[in-house]
Amino acid sequence: MQANLSLFKSFVDLVIPLRCIKCGTILGDKKGLCPACWAHVPFITKPFCSCCGLPFEFDIDDEALCGPCSHERPFYTTARSVFAYTEESRDLILKFKHMDALSSAPLFGYWMAQAIQEMKEEVLCIPVPLHWTRLFMRTYNQSALLAREISRLKGWAYSPSLLLRKRRTPSQGFLSRKERVKNVERAFIVSQKGKDYIFGKTIVLVDDVFTTGATVNACSKALLKAGAKSIHVLTLGRVVRGRQVV
C-alpha cells in the first residue's frame, strides 16, 4: 500500500509540479518558496520583544520588552509571528486571504508551528473569529484554516467556535491604533459551552496578521474573563513600524 501511495505521489508531482507559492517557479521536491523568493521574505528572528514579538534592530537580552509592552502589558502573555508584513511578503497573505489560495495553509501552518515555543501544559488552539455575515460572504475563515493545521502538527485540541465575534466591526485597514482599539472593544465573547471548555486552559490564539495587536488583545481579554489560564498569540504576518504596508 505504501509503495502504491509513493508511486501515486510521484505521478502527481510529475503531472502537476510543485511551484513556488510566491512567484510560481517550478520547484524540485519541496513545497514552499524558491531560493530567490525565500531571500526576500523578511522572516522574523531574535532579538524581539519577549511579550509582543516586535523585532528589535539591535542585540538585546531575550527577556527585554519593547516600549509599549513596558508601559502597559497586553492581556496575552506572548505574541509571535513568522514574517514581517512588507511589500515583499504581503502577496502571500493576500492570495491566501482573498484569492482562495487555500493550498498554502499546510505550509503556513508548518511555519507558524515552528515559531511558537513548546508547551508542556494542555493547549487549546482557536482562531480569531469572523462575524457570521463576513464568513458567509468569504465562505472560509483563513485564521481557522491556519489554527487547524497548527493544532494537527502540534497535537493540540482545536475548536473554531468557542470564541465568537458578537458584532460586525468595520474594517481595521485604515484606522489608527486608538481607533482600532475602540473598534473591537467588547466585540468578542466566549460561548456558554466555551466557558466550561476553556476554563484553566492555555490558549493559542491564531490570526493571519498582527497589525497593532488590538484585535488579538480584545480576544485575549474575553478569553481570560471566561476563565482561560493564559493566552499565546500566533500570527503569520506582523506589521513592523517603519516597514508598514497599507
Q: Does the pLDDT value for residue 86 go beyond 60?
A: yes
pTM (global) more than 0.85: yes
Q: What is the rounded distance in angstroms from the CA atom of residue 150 to the CA atom of residue 145?
A: 9
Three cell numbers written together for 28: 524540485
| Phi, psi values for residue 173, rounded to 5° | -45, -45
Q: Residue 42: left if φ>0, alpha if ψ -120 to 50, beta else—which one? A: beta
Query: How far does CA 108 lie from the centroid of its chain?
Result: 9
Lowest mean pLDDT among 121-130, 165-174, 226-235: 165-174
**Of all residues in the chain, what percent carry a pLDDT higher than 70?**
87
pLDDT of residue 12: 38
Question: What is the separation, in whole angstroms, between the first and last Cα of the chain?
Answer: 50
How far is residue 215's CA from residue 208's CA, in Å, rounded to a whole number?
A: 11
127 near 207, Cβ under 8 Å? yes
CB-based contacts of 122, cutoff 8 Å, min separation 6: 157, 201, 202
On the question of pLDDT at 244 being above 50, the answer is no
Is CATH 3.10.20.30 what the domain over 41-238 is classified as, yes or no?
no
pLDDT tens for residues 88-114?
999 999 989 877 778 899 999 999 999
| 191 phi/psi in degrees, rounded to 5 | -60, 160
**Separation in Å, CA 44 to CA 4, 93, 111, 112, 237:** 40, 16, 11, 11, 9
**Of the spans 17-26, 127-136, 207-216, which averages the highest pLDDT?**
207-216
Pick from 169, 82, 73, 178: nearest CA to 128: 169
Q: Which residue has the cell 500570527?
A: 235
Cα–Cα distance, 21 to 81 (Å, whole number): 19
Cell numbers 513548546: residue: 118
Using a pLDDT cut of 90, give the percent of the chain over it. 62
The CA distance from 56 to 45, in Å, is 9
- The residues of the chain that CATH labels 3.40.50.2020 are 41-238
Which cell numbers hold the place of 122? 494542555
The answer, yes or no, to whether residue 11 has pLDDT greater than 60, is: no
Q: Which residues pair with 158 in a beta bridge?
A: 125
pLDDT value at residue 218: 95
